[in-house]
Amino acid sequence: MLYKFLKTLHLLGLVLFLGSVLGHVATSVHGGPAGGSPAFLAARENISALTQALTLPGLGIAALSGVAMAVVARMNPIKSKRCFQATSLRAMGVG
């Protein structure tokens, strides 16, 4: 039961992290006019602040819940092939 909760928390952290990064990229692509209206610039500032407020907490939740899942499952990250592969894929940006 605890492992499933941690897995859900881990997925939530990944969604926060990746969603905020993708949201920031998507809003950066649609830069708008060069002179930009004050309302448009205020909206961009709000989007940027929200993105920054979600990125680091999402990454922290994902990292802490991942470590907690390994502890609950009693996985040794050095000896466990599965844990090593998942960590390696995440480090390469694949998983």
pTM of the predicted model as reported, rounded to 2 decimal places = 0.64
The closest of 55, 51, 31, 53 to 41, measured between CA atoms, is 31
Segment 41-81, tens digit of pLDDT: 777 788 778 888 888 899 899 999 988 888 888 776 666 66
Please say whether the beta carbons of 62 and 17 come within 8 A. Answer: yes
- Cα–Cα distance measured from residue 43 to residue 47, given in angstroms and rounded to the nearest whole number: 6
Question: Where do the domains of the chain lie?
Answer: 2-27+49-92
- Cα–Cα distance measured from residue 69 to residue 56, given in angstroms and rounded to the nearest whole number: 20
Helix axes 2-29, 38-72, angle to 10 degrees: 150
